[in-house]
Structure 1
Amino acid sequence: MLGGLLLAVLAVITHAYVTLPDARPLAKENPKTTALMEQRADEAREAGRKPRRRQQWVPLSAISKPAVEAVLLSEDASFYLHDGVDTVELARAVGQAVEEGKLGRGASTLTQQLAKNLWLSTDRSLLRKAKELMLAHRLEEALTKQRILTLYLNVVEWGNGVYGIEAGAREHFGVPASQLTVAQGAVLASMLPSPRKRSPSSGSRALLKQSHRVVHALKVYRRISAEQEEAAHAEVDRLLGRASKDAGDEAEEDGP
């Protein structure tokens, strides 16, 4: 029975691998839409609302460096060191899943997040996770790190119907991505775990705390100076402090 089960699992994985999308066209072409965009549009229509989509593609050179660094440190500090999968973090996630009987912590690299955004659903099934890992490997084989980062920053969700850092910067701060400050970049980076809940106007205390952590990390990893860190902390408080205070001190739980 065990042998038959293993063969069945292998057959499912093999079929998934050969039918998964080809990443090579993305080396030169920007995707017109993504699985996440289509899912959000379907959710809006089911709720009787008109789907909203704000997106404007920009090259990596048109995004402020502090904002890029903030996203990398917040989402995947080892991005340039791994080949698509953080094996240490993945092992921890698998151990936790076995212990709890379900998938919990994401353990997703930036490349895996891109694969999920482009082609997969937001469910937490083991099959979806397996596809995510295979697609991340394909992305790393077909594309440069800079291209993967560019794609990610242009398709990731930054609010209701807001996709990509250019749209996110304009939606939340009224500036292009090229003009994002250290504090604004830290806030955008800190929204990513739950972007539709953690908007700058939401009063999210979790967003406030995480934004300060990202600013500090930028200083620790020598991406900014001590003077820039101090100024950024003050700006984060100006951007989010009042909203957080108005929301009260009640603890919040952000969803996936």
Structure 2
Amino acid sequence: MAGSKKSSAKPTVPLRRRLRSWAARFVLICMTVLLLVLIAHRFFAPPPGHYMKQEAARLGGLAHEWVPFPEIAPVMVRAVVAAEDANFCNHWGFDMTEIRKVIAAGESRGASTLSQQVVKNVYLWHGRTWTRKALEALITPPLEALWPKRRILEVYLNMAEFDEGVFGVEAAARHYFNTSASDLRPAQAARLAALLPAPRDRDAARPSAWLRNRASAILDGAATIARDGRAACFED
């Protein structure tokens, strides 16, 4: 009988459930791609970031030369850590101690770690939008988990801006002091570190009194982290 026949049509999946399924798949694909990219860049130099590309287009080129970690003077590495992220060896991507200090003081300055700055310089864009900060917070933990501390510093020092159109410590050493990253003297390394994170209104070759004082404090800080073990994660 016609009335007794069972319908062979499959039940319709509600639209909301399908959307959730598609969204979950999309997130899974994005996370997989992200992890594969991070793994690749642990071993291979990442391409120029968004900001570097913008500057290259605006200026018609950049001064930039990649150098491996062993070819960067150890004092340069210690100086940058002392200047930008003294607790680098002791955190997992976010310096909660520094963040609490900023919140308690009601300050507007950032408390970005070197790991966060690498994420911004390599994978994101400059600016203080909530979208960028959210993506930065999302990418930083897997980067810390997949990259050794030395690799994070190597990428940072090769991607940081030291003057208009001058990116990376090798180009900076030649630009300011006509030397290589491996031959930087302590005072030179401290001056380069003192340029960060706002290099365009500072000059390491003709330092102001403020920059000289800042460089001196950085040298003291570099010596301190070498003594107290906070440089242990990136020094032999």
Give yes or no for TM over 0.5: yes
Confirm or deny that 1:86 pairs with 2:101. Answer: no
Q: 2:38 aligns with which of 10, 23, 27?
A: 23
Deviation digits for residues 29-82 of structure 1 (CA, Å, limit 9, x no counterpart)? 11121122023235x2xxxxx333111111111111111111111111111111
Offset from partner CA, 1:72-99 (integer Å, 9 cap, x none): 1111111111111112223444566xx6
Q: Which runs of 5 or more residues in structure 1 are unaligned?
A: 1-10, 45-49, 224-256
Q: Kindly report which structure 2 residues correspond to 1:22-101, keeping only aligned pairs within 5 A, or say none.
A: 22-42=37-57, 44=58, 50-93=59-102
Q: Call closer, same or farther: CA 1:218–1:28 in 2, change over 3 Å.
A: closer
Corresponding position of 2:230: none
Residue correspondences, number? 200
Using structure 1 for the length normalisation, give the TM-score. Answer: 0.70
Residue 133 of structure 2 corresponds to residue 118 of structure 1: no
Structure 2 Cα separation of the partners of residues 220 and 135 of structure 1: 30
Unaligned runs of 5+ in 2: 1-22, 228-236
Cα deviations by residue, 1:94-128 (Å, 9 ceiling, x for unpaired): 566xx68xxx3110000001001112222112221
Q: The residue matched to 1:85 in structure 2 has which SS?
A: coil
CA distance in 1, matches of 2:114, 2:199: 16
Offset of residue 201 of structure 1: 4.5
Structure 1 residues 124 and 218, CA gap change in structure 2 (3 angstroms): same
Asked if structure 2 preserves the Cα contact closer than 8 Å seen for 1:39 and 1:121, the reply is no
Tell me which amino acid in the other structure corresponds to 2:56. A
1:235 alignment partner in structure 2:
none
Which of 203, 214, 221 does residue 218 from structure 2 map onto?
214
- What SS is found at the alignment partner of 1:80? helix
- Cα distance in structure 2, aligned partners of 1:220 and 1:81: 15
The whole-number CA distance in structure 2 between the counterparts of 1:28 and 1:203 is 36
User: Does the 8 Å contact 1:110/1:152 carry over to 2?
Assistant: yes
User: How far does residue 146 in structure 1 lie from its aligned partner after superposition?
Assistant: 1.1
Relative to structure 1, the CA distance from residue 222 to residue 83 in structure 2 (aligned partners, 3 Å threshold; closer, same or farther) is closer
Q: SS at 1:32's partner residue? A: coil
**Residue in 2 aligned with 1:178?**
182
**Alpha-carbon RMSD:** 2.6
Query: What percentage of residue pairs aligned between the two structures are identical?
Result: 36
TM-score by length of 2: 0.76
